[in-house]
Structure 1
Amino acid sequence: MTTISSSWRGLPRPALLGLLLFFCAGFADGALVPFFPLWASSEAGIPVGAIGLLFGCYAGGELIAAPLIGGIADRVGRRPVLIFSSLGVGCGFVALFFVQGVAATAIVLLLTGVCESVLHPTILTAIADVTAPSAHPRWFSMARVSSSAGQILGPACGALLALISLSVVFLAAGGMLILGGIVMLAALGETMGSGRGTATDHDEDEDGLSALLPAFSDGRLAKLLLWVVLFEISGNWIEAVIPLYAHDAGTLSPSGVGALFAYAAALTVGLQMLVNRFAETRSALWLTAGAGLSTIAAFILLMTSPAMLPLIAAVSLCSVAQMLVGPLVPTAVNALAPEARRASYMASSSVAVDLKDSLGPSIGTALYALAPRLPWVAGIPLVAIASLGLGVAIGRARHVSGAATSKAGYSAGVARPEEPAAWPTGPAVEEYS
């Protein structure tokens, strides 16, 4: 125990505090998302067709604010941004406990999204400030693990609190982020100017609508992101519609919905690395087709019955689909990006995810308002087309990357990995090098 304690004490405090804040944010999101549709329809008096629009207000706040204040941490410092953003998001979630009606809820979610737009990028920037570049992948991976752990405990805690009242869940979600903000206020020191942060860090962490500009000048990236959005929109219906679908059918109570989403998060945490090993030897089209088939199978199960076993199987299949596709998209975007514009290209991918979070619930709940099984029926052809298009786009990105690597190796006189013995090594090549 002494050795373990000494090892943790030797790690940079801001990075450890960043992991804690990631856990708090994951907990809050995990507690909010499964129960918001149920609260909106049963306690807040919000029409089912408007629930998706309210989800869109939250994502819309992020999209509107990010181009304006996304880089504010490089001007005023990481510490004040982390304190005010975590407290702002926490207070926004707490405010949902008190509001009623569509207009008031939309305003609260919009303002909460504005505060959230700078939370995650600033946490990553603070971690990068105090850790060596060679350690960034490990720390960023730990940040994802911390967020996933929160997303497991959030729905589980929300399931217990929903036994009291659905609105009490918002107090827990907001209270966790307020606690995180208080810890940042008490323990976090300023990391800007610590010697490792540079102007490049600002470029890599900034996202928003301005980050979509590379998509308009690079048709390959625009097509890739289009397929990403189309595929993710339908997958998002699982998360947005199942709470209403299962509750209206009498299959799950609000607590049962929270437990179902906690199970899905635990499944992803437990199987992601195993799926990654399996995916290493498969083509992009094979993987996206597999993800598409998994999602279609989930929709067919949901379309046939809202019973417990089909719900569990559908959530499991959808989780597997996300495990297959998740690592492919950033890899493909990075392959398309020129060296000098890699951060902008990756930010475009982040904005595409925000668009998915805005459009997915809006469309899914609107379809559900027309007919309970309509999202699953409409999702089948959409997923089939999007998964094939996404596989082709990712395959082309890999081909472009491989061709560029081969060309660069030839220009520099470097042997290709697949044919080292046949590659010329004579005086001409040495002179060119």
Structure 2
Amino acid sequence: MTTFSSSWRGLPRPALLGLFLFFCAGFADGALVPFFPLWASSEAGIPVGAIGLLFGCYAGGELIAGPFIGGIADRVGRRPVLILSSLGVGCGFIALFFVHGVVATAVVLILTGICESVLHPTILTAIADVTEPSAHPRWFSMARVSSSAGQILGPACGALLALISLSTVFLAGGGMLILGGTVMLIALAETIGSGAHAAGDQDDEEEEEGLSALLPAFRDGRLAKLLLWVVLFEISGNWIEAVIPLYAQDADTLSPSGVGTLFAYAAALTVGLQMLVSGFAEARSALWLTVGAGLSTIAAFVLLAASPAMLSLIAAVSLCSVAQMLVAPLVPTAVNALAPAARRASYMAASSVAVDLKDSLGPSIGTALYALAPRLPWIAGIPLVAIASLGLGVAIGRARNFSGAGFDAESGGPERSTTWSTSPATEEQS
């Protein structure tokens, strides 16, 4: 906690504002995700098998927009992108309160997803702009803590609002993101010329614009392989959020308010333990961490397959929270290590597209499997997690080796010492 407090005080203002916006986004997600399946099945009259498709519409908007506008913050700046995207997502959430029917809901979710496609990657990019490379794993962990803090209050607030109407949670989530966008408008300064980014290679700045410049995953084989394993690992982990509300309700284990409380507990666990786990993880290899995360997730699935009882639900979300604590900070750090300075936002956007793909496929597959058999998602997830955790560990380890082989993602030149590489690099970027 002492380290956390001193690190917090040492952050420049744009990074602090980025953490605040992560808090707002976490609150909105926490208020929406646990209650959306319950709202869709009870108040909207949507079949269970189609709920995942609506989740897919939200992620689909992000997938559609990500390759085209995902790297726009590299060209127009971080500030306008953060302001417009947060306000757009907030208005989209509020619009859900007023719409009715599958088609109208799908359209709103697609438009909201388009706005959201640049929100999270641009926040991470702004934080990376104003912090040292050696500190990126720590700050990305702090970003996760900020998001999880919002995910404590979001479900808790949603649990209270659900007593009135499940649709009112959309007003709370949207209002929080509008607040975040307003704060960015008032207080955020542009970060695109900060720190090492200001000294980026002019050749990179003069690269072609357009779609090819915004699809680094197709131009960088290392990034593409890394993101493939991220998608596979996260798809099954997403079933916890998408399926547990239905699983618990059908088993008469939890009410809608109880579901919100359960996810608030999971977020509180992340807030309390993330920095501790990150400090412990610094001395471990990527493969060790991803295998540990895989085993933790597999244990959660075994418990859920065995019983939908309250104790099993609590233990399962606890184990999955620990798994995310181990893996989540590794991925943006690895992506940032592979990214040239002038294309940092584009690389982060490619990573976000992978997460969006997970958010689209995860609920769709999970709820479809649940419609076939209530325990099928947990049984099918065990081998998927086992394979993906091994592949992800190898891919992140290779990104670490690339970072330590002489390429400095910040300056495009010889690498400085980082938490991933304790000795100076001797080679230059090819």
Alignment TM-score > 0.5, same fold:
yes
CA contact (8 A) 1:151 1:265 kept: yes
Distance (whole Å) between structure 2 residues aligned to residue 211 and residue 103 of structure 1: 34
| Aligned ranges 1:326-345 → 2 under 5 Å | 326-334=328-336, 344-345=346-347
1:226 corresponds to which residue? 228
Evaluate the alpha carbon distance shift between residue 156 and residue 350 of structure 1 in structure 2; reply closer, same or farther with a 3 A threshold: same
CA contact (8 A) 1:91 1:178 kept: yes
Q: Does 1:261 align with 2:259?
A: no
Offset at residue 191 of structure 1 (A): 3.6
1:100 is aligned with what amino acid? H
1:40 corresponds to which residue? 40
2:160 is aligned with what amino acid? L
CA contact (8 A) 1:86 1:180 kept: yes
1:381 corresponds to which residue? 383
CA contact (8 A) 2:74 2:344 kept: no
Offset at residue 301 of structure 1 (A): 0.6
For this pair of structures, how many residues does the alignment match? 398
Offset at residue 322 of structure 1 (A): 1.3
1:173 corresponds to which residue? 173
Alignment partner of 1:243: what SS?
helix
Distance (whole Å) between structure 2 residues aligned to residue 183 and residue 328 of structure 1: 29
Evaluate the alpha carbon distance shift between residue 24 and residue 349 of structure 1 in structure 2; reply closer, same or farther with a 3 A threshold: closer
Distance (whole Å) between structure 2 residues aligned to residue 126 and residue 85 of structure 1: 14
2:418 corresponds to which residue? none
Evaluate the alpha carbon distance shift between residue 209 and residue 227 of structure 1 in structure 2; reply closer, same or farther with a 3 A threshold: farther
CA contact (8 A) 2:141 2:274 kept: no
Unaligned runs of 5+ in 2: 1-7, 408-413, 415-420, 425-430
1:56 corresponds to which residue? 56
Distance (whole Å) between structure 2 residues aligned to residue 418 and residue 78 of structure 1: 31
1:316 corresponds to which residue? 318
CA deviations over 1:180-220 (Å, ceiling 9, x no partner): 344455x34764788767596998xxxx9867744445444
Evaluate the alpha carbon distance shift between residue 317 and residue 338 of structure 1 in structure 2; reply closer, same or farther with a 3 A threshold: same
Evaluate the alpha carbon distance shift between residue 211 and residue 157 of structure 1 in structure 2; reply closer, same or farther with a 3 A threshold: farther
Distance (whole Å) between structure 1 residues aligned to residue 12 and residue 20 of structure 2: 13
CA contact (8 A) 1:66 1:209 kept: no
1:158 corresponds to which residue? 158
CA contact (8 A) 1:212 1:351 kept: no
CA deviations over 1:121-180 (Å, ceiling 9, x no partner): 555566678x57689858766544433221211111111111111111111111222333
Alignment partner of 2:21: what SS?
helix
1:28 is aligned with what amino acid? A
2:362 is aligned with what amino acid? G
Distance (whole Å) between structure 1 residues aligned to residue 74 and residue 228 of structure 2: 31
CA deviations over 1:228-268 (Å, ceiling 9, x no partner): 21111011111111011111111011111111111111111
Evaluate the alpha carbon distance shift between residue 199 and residue 351 of structure 1 in structure 2; reply closer, same or farther with a 3 A threshold: farther
Distance (whole Å) between structure 2 residues aligned to residue 344 and residue 94 of structure 1: 29
Distance (whole Å) between structure 2 residues aligned to residue 112 and residue 209 of structure 1: 21
Return 34-43 or 282-291, whichever deviates more: 282-291
2:95 corresponds to which residue? 95
2:26 corresponds to which residue? 26
Evaluate the alpha carbon distance shift between residue 12 and residue 229 of structure 1 in structure 2; reply closer, same or farther with a 3 A threshold: closer
Offset at residue 273 of structure 1 (A): 2.1
Return 166-175 or 328-337, whichever deviates more: 328-337
2:360 corresponds to which residue? 358
Unaligned runs of 5+ in 1: 1-7, 406-411, 421-433
Offset at residue 337 of structure 1 (A): 5.6
1:367 corresponds to which residue? 369
Return 385-394 or 257-266, whichever deviates more: 385-394
Distance (whole Å) between structure 2 residues aligned to residue 150 and residue 242 of structure 1: 20
Q: Does 1:252 align with 2:254?
A: yes
Percent identical across equivalent pairs?
85
CA deviations over 1:98-123 (Å, ceiling 9, x no partner): 22222111100011112222334555
Distance (whole Å) between structure 2 residues aligned to residue 36 and residue 152 of structure 1: 17
CA deviations over 1:286-311 (Å, ceiling 9, x no partner): 32222111111111110111110000
2:274 is aligned with what amino acid? Q
CA contact (8 A) 1:78 1:126 kept: yes
Offset at residue 29 of structure 1 (A): 1.1
Provide TM-score, normalisation by structure 2.
0.79
